[in-house]
């Protein structure tokens, strides 16, 4: 099971003497509970009603702190958009080609694939990413189509 532990994340913040403001906690909690691998804007939109003083910059700065401590992983894409993942161990993703939502997927152990590829190619694999792309249930239900051309 792919999962992440917010208690451990909180311990790490305390250990590094990083003050956990209500906003900072909210951003962390959102990341650790929402399964869709949000962007900065998505986190901001989800929390601004409850925290009217929140800004996109605050969200971004918090993410930077979390990233530095290894509490989140930043996933970058060709189009320069970024999503944030609270599961920092290696795992797979399934990505909607229309709205970009991303979920974790359990599959063959990453280690097995790594060893297989190393044997076949003599490469030393340092890191990798596997994404399966398709259309998410919400987009399918709404009848959204992939942009053409």
The footprint of Zn ion (CB under 5 A) covers: 96, 98-99, 136, 139
Smallest CA-to-CA distance from 90 within 77, 105, 79 is with 105
Of Zn ion, Mn ion, none, which one sits near residue 6, judging by CB under 5 to 8 A according to partner kind? none
Q: Which is nearer to Zn ion, 2 or 99 (CB)?
A: 99
The CA distance from 21 to 49, in Å, is: 17
Distance of closest approach, residue 135 Cβ to Zn ion, in angstroms: 6
Burial class for 86, CB neighbours closer than 10 Å (0-12, 13-18, 19+) = buried
> What does the binding site for Mn ion look like in residue numbers (CB under 5 A)?
85, 87, 104
Distance of closest approach, residue 92 Cβ to Mn ion, in angstroms: 8
DSSP state of 148: P
Element (H, E) at 29: helix 22-33
DSSP state of 105: E
CB 103 within 8 A of CB 134: no
Q: Which is nearer to Zn ion, 71 or 98 (CB)?
A: 98
Distance of closest approach, residue 143 Cβ to Zn ion, in angstroms: 12
Of Mn ion, Zn ion, none, which one sits near residue 136, judging by CB under 5 to 8 A according to partner kind? Zn ion
User: Closest residue to Mn ion, Cβ-based?
Assistant: 85
């Amino acid at each position: 099971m792919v999962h992440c532990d917010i208690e451990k994340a909180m311990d790490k913040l305390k250990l590094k003497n990083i003050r956990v403001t209500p906003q900072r906690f909210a951003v962390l909690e959102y990341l650790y509970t929402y399964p869709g691998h949000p962007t900065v804007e998505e986190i901001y939109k989800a929390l601004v009603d409850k925290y009217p003083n929140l800004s996109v910059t605050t969200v971004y700065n918090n993410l930077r702190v979390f990233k530095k401590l290894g509490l989140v992983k930043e996933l970058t894409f060709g189009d320069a958009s970024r999503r944030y993942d609270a599961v920092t161990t290696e795992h797979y993703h399934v990505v909607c080609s229309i709205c970009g939502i991303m979920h974790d997927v359990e599959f063959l152990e990453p280690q097995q694939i790594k060893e297989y590829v190393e044997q076949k190619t003599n490469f030393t694999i340092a890191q990798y990413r596997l994404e399966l792309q398709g259309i998410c249930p919400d987009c399918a239900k709404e009848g959204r189509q992939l942009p053409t051309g």
